[in-house]
Chains A and B, each alone.
Chain A
């Protein structure tokens, strides 16, 4: 009799935990849907022709858009990719091909993992002291440098992982037919790890294109079209921050529109990268 009630209690605990774990998963999904729905709903209302083509207007004046911020975000992200992708890629090449078991390689690997966890606002602060303070003006290139520093460790890590997946026999056969190592890396290893590398780059670009904190102190913001790389540059994320905190309703609407644009882009690239990876593993 006692034994039976004990079993019952254990089964009851088990059932409870099953329900709890299912519920927790549902709560996670519920929040995801809640956020997506909120941003989608409020953002769609802001989309019109002006949103994509016009400059921002002072509060209360009809017809403002965020064309300059859209262009600015694109420019800063592309610029960041130009710096961050090669740096990260070749760091990954070093780690996987030349420095696999060296002390220096181990140090770099360790530092990369730590750098990935450094808050993005600190990276922004660092670039501020490096590229903004000495030149006394905010600039698009400072913003791009901050984003590149955030990209670097992500790309280096995935590059290393992907190159490590390439079987050694491929390296050996390339070297056996007399290829120099650089040639083997560029035309054999890169090619066979192509989709993995592309995934890493896409994920890194997606991540930085939604970053706000590193741009606050570097690219800052501007209500105008940019005239060059060496001046404050409008971008979507800092615009969202400024407009959301403002008391004006039409600015808040624009902030929702910008949020939807950023979110759709980031999630879109993310899903694209994941499908790429899935095809590769299949």
Chain B
């Protein structure tokens, strides 16, 4: 004991230090291993379909032909719907929390919005499938089609055509919007709160209204932070799995109508993994996962780079 014990106590400082370095290094190793492992386990599909996998829209397990296009399309469309709804909503909610509401009200409302982020994805799925999708089918979709007459509208009519089933792209997009809303709102709130009071007060002093101060001063001042917030929300929406899987309908189909069933990369993985008996099927699914990994990695990379640049230019923590 004694010799080893002596060695240990003498060098414990160095050992401890190297232990923390080792822990920190695991993060890098995991990240690198993710790419290597997924690429290696997708090798059959990569060899068979090559880069053309990305724009091939065939998905036929019976013939063992696979292409990612319908899944990528669904991922992008549902994410786009989510962002179109969530970003403007986040701006006005952040405005309400920072500028308009009484501090106590702001605290309560802000807490409630944050709580939306804590609800697990699968709960959104359950609620979406059993409560929200029927509501969409019975109320919202007929309202959009008939009362607003969007089905027959020129240009965008195609988007709102088809039978109102409740399940589909639009429902998935709305639920995604709800899920990324708290993340974007939180960052926007910080950005709004960071604008120096002097800047705002000088605008008020010139007789601006609250809304004018917000969109001409606060938003301009914090535009970079707002863009960073959107990136973060975008990254989250792209990879969201369970909630989307429950409500998107899971059909390998590309349809102009937002009411139609589709799929996303994540929902395809969640749904079909158990069925993948053939090696090429499994490898195609992992290839699909690799595509999603690269997509989210690039977006996160851009977001982090952006936020870092921002921190440097503003000199404060975001």
Residues of A within 8 A of B (CB): 10-11, 13-14, 17-18, 20-22, 24-25, 27-29, 31-32, 34-35, 38-39, 42, 86-88, 90-91, 93-95, 97-99, 104-105, 107-108, 110-123, 125-126, 129-130, 133, 149, 152-153, 156, 180-182, 185, 206-207, 210-213, 216-217, 237, 240-241, 244, 252, 255-256, 259, 262-263, 266-267, 270, 274
**What 1/0 flags go to B283-318 for Cβ under 8 Å of A?**
000100100110011011101100010000000000
B96 touches A119 (CB 8 A): no
B121 touches A210 (CB 8 A): yes
Smallest Cβ distance from B136 to chain A, in angstroms?
13
Q: Which of B26, B95, B211 interacts with A87 by CB under 8 Å?
A: B26
Query: Which chain B positions have C-beta within 8 A of A22?
Result: 96, 100
Give the secondary structure class of B's interface: helix
Of the candidates A113, A133, A149, the one having the most CB atoms from chain B within 10 angstroms of its own CB is A113
Smallest Cβ distance from A229 to chain B, in angstroms?
21
Query: Which chain B positions have C-beta within 8 A of A90?
Result: 19-20, 23-24
CA distance A42 to B130 in the complex (A): 11
**What 1/0 flags go to B118-134 for Cβ under 8 Å of A?**
11111111110111000
* B113 located at the interface, meaning its Cβ lies under 8 Å from any Cβ of chain A in the complex: yes
The B102-127 residues at the A interface (CB cut-off 8 A) are: 109, 111-113, 115-116, 118-127
Smallest Cβ distance from B140 to chain A, in angstroms?
14
In the A-B complex, list the 7 residue pairs whose CB atoms are closest, starting with the nearest.
A119-B239, A210-B120, A14-B209, A94-B20, A182-B16, A21-B92, A21-B96
Q: Which of B33, B269, B304 interacts with A113 by CB under 8 Å?
A: B304
A153 touches B92 (CB 8 A): no
Q: Beyond A114-B297, A125-B38, is A119–B241 a contact (Cβ under 8 Å)?
A: yes
B116 touches A122 (CB 8 A): no
A21 touches B95 (CB 8 A): yes
Interface size on B, as a range, is: 35 or more
A120 touches B239 (CB 8 A): yes
Residues of B within 8 A of A (CB): 12-13, 16-17, 19-21, 23-28, 30-31, 33-34, 37-38, 40-41, 89, 92-93, 95-97, 100-101, 109, 111-113, 115-116, 118-127, 129-131, 178, 181, 209-212, 214, 232, 235-236, 238-242, 245-246, 266, 269-270, 273, 286, 289, 292-293, 296-297, 299-301, 303-304, 308
Query: Which chain A positions have C-beta within 8 A of B37?
Result: 126, 129-130
B16 touches A129 (CB 8 A): no
Smallest Cβ distance from B104 to chain A, in angstroms?
14
- Which A-chain residue is minimally distant from B42 (CB atoms)? A129
A91 touches B232 (CB 8 A): no
Task: Pull 11 A–B residue pairs with CB atoms less than 8 Å apart, ordered by A.
Answer: A14-B210, A29-B109, A38-B131, A91-B24, A93-B23, A107-B28, A119-B239, A121-B289, A129-B286, A152-B30, A156-B24
B23 touches A87 (CB 8 A): yes
A121 touches B239 (CB 8 A): yes
B13 touches A180 (CB 8 A): yes
Query: Which chain A positions have C-beta within 8 A of B127?
Result: 34-35, 38-39
B17 touches A122 (CB 8 A): no
Q: Which of B34, B112, B131, B236 interacts with A117 by CB under 8 Å?
A: B236
- Which A-chain residue is minimally distant from B95 (CB atoms)? A21
Q: Which of B41, B214, B236, B289 interacts with A122 by CB under 8 Å?
A: B289
Q: Beyond A28-B93, A115-B30, A212-B120, is A122–B296 a contact (Cβ under 8 Å)?
A: yes
CA distance A115 to B32 in the complex (A): 11
Query: Which chain B positions have C-beta within 8 A of A42?
Result: 130
Q: Beyond A21-B92, A98-B21, A129-B37, is A118–B27 a contact (Cβ under 8 Å)?
A: no
